[in-house]
Amino acid sequence: MKSAEAMDYMLTLQGSGIRPGLERIACLLAYMGNPQDDLKFIHIAGTNGKGSTLAFISEILKEAGYRVGRYISPTISDYKERFQVNSKKISEAMLVKGVEILKSTIEKMAAAGEDTPSAFEAETALAFWYFKEKKCDYVTLEVGMGGLLDATNIIPAPLVCVLASISYDHMGYLGNSLGEIAAQKAGIIKKGSLVVSQYQHSEAAHVIEAKAAECGCALSVVNEDAIKSEKAAGFKDGGLNKGRIKQVFSYKGYKRLELSLLGRYQQKNAALAIEAIEALRQKGVKITDEALRNGLKNTEWPVRFQVVADRPCIILDGAHNEEAAVRLAESIDFYFTNSRIIYIMGMLKDKEYEKVAEITAAKAECIFTVTPQNNPRALSALTLAETVSKYNPKVTTADSPEEALEMASLMAGRDGVIIVFGSLSYLGKMMELIQDGSGQDKRRSKITP
């Protein structure tokens, strides 16, 4: 099997769609020898911030000298990014080997009359196989959707269960109330684990507290009042100052912690990661304060208020639901109080695009909408523009990401700020265009924090 054949095979599994439940992956993993039983996990669920929190925890553990597997979805530009060890994605050779084993196993299941797995279930099994092959000390595991019935929840009790911020998302699968959604996400909590949680809305907090108590698990919650923001260095209105871009904050007894990730909300995500690290220490994992500091400082996570170019300043952000839109709006107000703001927006039709438009649109001088490419769930640029026009009449549809970037760059000039946000499904393409210089003067400097 060659690399292209491996990818083609994984694509064939996507036709089964989203099928919550643990029966199929339990069967698949049993056929594969249950590799997950030989791994130690930090399991992370939530609506917003779980990816960044996972990245912080992973980097801190790596700085502490451990071999860390990282399983994430979705990815931005490369399928292999889903499977990482110490921040390095899986090689093509290992991916092909893993898919060959997976394909053979699924064929045996089918021959035995077993129900075959979905694409995500297969990918999750592949991740467990890979991390066992690489002899990972710890695995940071991101829930795909929900928690209770998510394929990742097949694991034994993790060392630490992490609950990032919970809000409304995937209501068709998880429930229509915050309590119902929180119950699904708190489903990752198991007896024998320690639990850490972001500060939650009271309805979600009560559910988490009850589940932790039911399982006899100690629960620690981020103290937002203990987060003290000190400064954000490297920014000026209209662009970037020379030098490294960073923000500095303190949390509890940790003073002047540096983050390369921008967006004020990242301080809360970092505080949640600190709570997880302290829980790991209670489990006997040796992690120095120096490793914690260096891990936070060195963490990179794409398209989370990520600065990717200067003159004009271009920022990519994956805000695609109400809470993420609020966070994006807060960051715009914090960093760019006197700047001309131009948006490029692309959304999926099953996301909260009306709420996102309502929260963010008024802050932009003009807005360009695009249709995410090669995605059956894509919201058309025209429908998005019609929605945005309720809150800002200066909106124009673009026929392609290239056209959107070109028009936005012309409008921004050298001193404006372009914020590209919405669905992760098109931000990878936008990243490629910006790095290639499409729609911009290629002589302009590109700065990645």
Q: Identify whether 447 is part of a domain.
A: no
Question: Cα separation of 69 and 347, whole Å?
Answer: 30
Please calculate the CA angle 50-54-57 and round it to the nearest 5 degrees: 140
- pLDDT, tens digit (0-9, with 9 covering 90-100), for 102-144: 999 999 999 999 999 999 999 999 999 999 999 999 999 999 9
User: Are both 267 and 323 inside the same structural domain?
Assistant: no
User: Are both 345 and 219 inside the same structural domain?
Assistant: no
Under 8 Å CB-to-CB from 156, ≥6 apart: which residues?
36, 37, 41, 190
Q: Check pLDDT > 90 for residue 230.
A: no
CATH number of residue 346's parent domain: 3.90.190.20
Q: What are phi and psi of 187, to 5 degrees?
A: -65, -10
- Work out the mean pLDDT of the chain and round it to a whole number: 90
Query: What type of residue sits at position 54?
Result: L
Q: Identify whether 442 is part of a domain.
A: no
**376 dihedral zone (left: phi>0; alpha: psi -120 to 50; beta):** alpha
Under 8 Å CB-to-CB from 367, ≥6 apart: which residues?
342, 343, 344, 345, 361, 385, 388, 392, 394, 395, 396
Q: Identify whether 444 is part of a domain.
A: no
Please calculate the CA angle 128-132-137 and round it to the nearest 5 degrees: 105
Burial code (b: 16+ CB inside 10 Å, e: under 16) for 17-29 equals eeebebebbebbb
306-309 and 41-45 as β-strands: parallel, antiparallel, unpaired? unpaired
Q: Identify whether 342 is part of a domain.
A: yes
- pLDDT, tens digit (0-9, with 9 covering 90-100), for 335-390: 888 889 999 999 988 888 999 999 999 999 999 999 998 788 899 999 999 999 99
Q: Would you place residue 239 in the very low, low, confident or very high pLDDT band (cuts 50, 70, 90)?
A: very low
Q: Check pLDDT > 90 for residue 90.
A: yes
User: Are both 26 and 50 inside the same structural domain?
Assistant: yes
Q: Are residues 96 and 2 in contact, defined by beta-carbon separation less than 8 angstroms?
A: yes
Q: Would you place residue 448 in the very low, low, confident or very high pLDDT band (cuts 50, 70, 90)?
A: very low
The residue from 240, 273, 298 where one domain ends is: 298
Question: Cα separation of 307 and 445, whole Å?
Answer: 12
User: Are both 276 and 324 inside the same structural domain?
Assistant: no
Query: What type of residue sits at position 117?
Result: P
Q: Collapsing DSSP states into helix, strand and coil, what is residue 404?
A: helix
Number of domains, the chain: 2
Taking residues 285-307, what's their average pLDDT?
A: 93
User: Are both 348 and 211 inside the same structural domain?
Assistant: no
Determine which of 240-254, 283-297, 369-383, 390-404 has the lowest per-residue pLDDT on average: 240-254
CATH number of residue 147's parent domain: 3.40.1190.10
Q: Identify whether 446 is part of a domain.
A: no
User: Are both 50 and 198 inside the same structural domain?
Assistant: yes
Under 8 Å CB-to-CB from 79, ≥6 apart: which residues?
7, 10
Q: Looking at 252-394, which runs of residues are DSSP E strands?
A: 254-259, 306-309, 313-317, 341-346, 366-369
- Long-range own/partner contacts, residues 284-289 (CB < 8 A, 24 or more apart): 285/61, 285/64, 285/138, 285/159, 286/64, 287/60, 287/61, 287/64, 288/64, 289/254
Question: Cα separation of 15 and 425, whole Å?
Answer: 18
Q: Identify whether 80 is part of a domain.
A: yes
User: Are both 11 and 104 inside the same structural domain?
Assistant: yes
pLDDT at 234: 54
User: Are both 61 and 185 inside the same structural domain?
Assistant: yes
Structure tokens at 73: 């979805």
User: Are both 196 and 333 inside the same structural domain?
Assistant: no
For residue 79, the enclosing domain spans 3-298
User: Are both 384 and 271 inside the same structural domain?
Assistant: no
DSSP 232-272: EESEETTEE-SS--EEEEEETTEEEEEESS-STHHHHHHHH
User: Are both 321 and 254 inside the same structural domain?
Assistant: no
The residue from 298, 318, 343 where one domain ends is: 298
pLDDT at 16: 66
The residue from 267, 298, 329 where one domain ends is: 298
- pLDDT, tens digit (0-9, with 9 covering 90-100), for 147-168: 999 999 999 999 999 999 998 8
Taking residues 44-57, what's their average pLDDT?
A: 94
User: Are both 206 and 313 inside the same structural domain?
Assistant: no
